[in-house]
Structure 1
Amino acid sequence: MGRWIIALIVVFFVGFFIYVSMSNKSPEGLGITDGLLKSCPSSPNCVSTQAQSDDVAHYIEPIIYRGDRKETQLLIESSILAKGNTRIISRYLGYVHFEVKSHLVGFIDDVEFYLPEADSVIHIRSASRVGYSDFGVNRERVRQYRDLLVD
């Protein structure tokens, strides 16, 4: 009986990691389209500064910055890369897309920063690729990034 339980546990964990690996594919439609980041899905595992302000599950305040747009973007990139579990997927002046990998299981979240040329504002979208809830991880991540970037 004990061997069956151990076998079931092993099968469960192997299946879980296969599921995570297969589900961690980059979503389509990321980037800027007509001045907007991709909308969050209905699930509560995404936050965006461009969600409707009455959408409490997804909306988060944008970051206002002072100074040069390019220097601000370089600060964002260097600060986020210094955390160690992040890599840049796409970047150009005014936009950067990071993949952030969780340490324990290897979940990948997509984090995008958009700095429109005409405004001194940073729009952010942070979304999990796998699962329904993120237990507030994306909201907390954006709060930490805000702390890094705001004096």
Structure 2
Amino acid sequence: MYQFNVRVYGLLINDRNEILISDEQEYGIRFAKFPGGGLEYGEGLIDGLKREFVEECNTEIEVVSHFYTTDFYVKSAFNDSQIISVYYLVKNITALNLVFKTLPFDFDGEGDVLQSFRWIDMAKLQESDVTFPIDQHVVKLLTNNI
């Protein structure tokens, strides 16, 4: 049986035209991505994205518009599932009370699961700023639309 892994991500761009990136480490694997994550069973895409932003960023968001849905095959980096990712342009409707870093993977504390956030100027955004192939494709789409 084939497994599909549906993921939903938010592209949050601030007033300074910077996009929010989440640097994460889970069980020794480091990766940079857009905020968001896996859809839970019984959950709609937008509800899942709102939940992820509350869990990861402790903020509430509003979805502005759909940006992109995966249209090519990608195998998960973590298991044998096929990844389907949906990206939305979002804006925060409550304050972002996060500590923003300037360097990638600048984590506070220790543990199996670590996370930090940073802003990247849209004019300087590159595919290498994110880890996964679908995110890299989204960066290409974002930078072609500037």
**What TM-score, normalized to structure 1?**
0.28
Whichever structure has more strand as a proportion of its residues is 2
Larger Rg belongs to: 1
**What TM-score, normalized to structure 2?**
0.29
Greater relative CO (CA pairs within 8 A, separation 6+): 2
Whichever structure has more helix as a proportion of its residues is 1
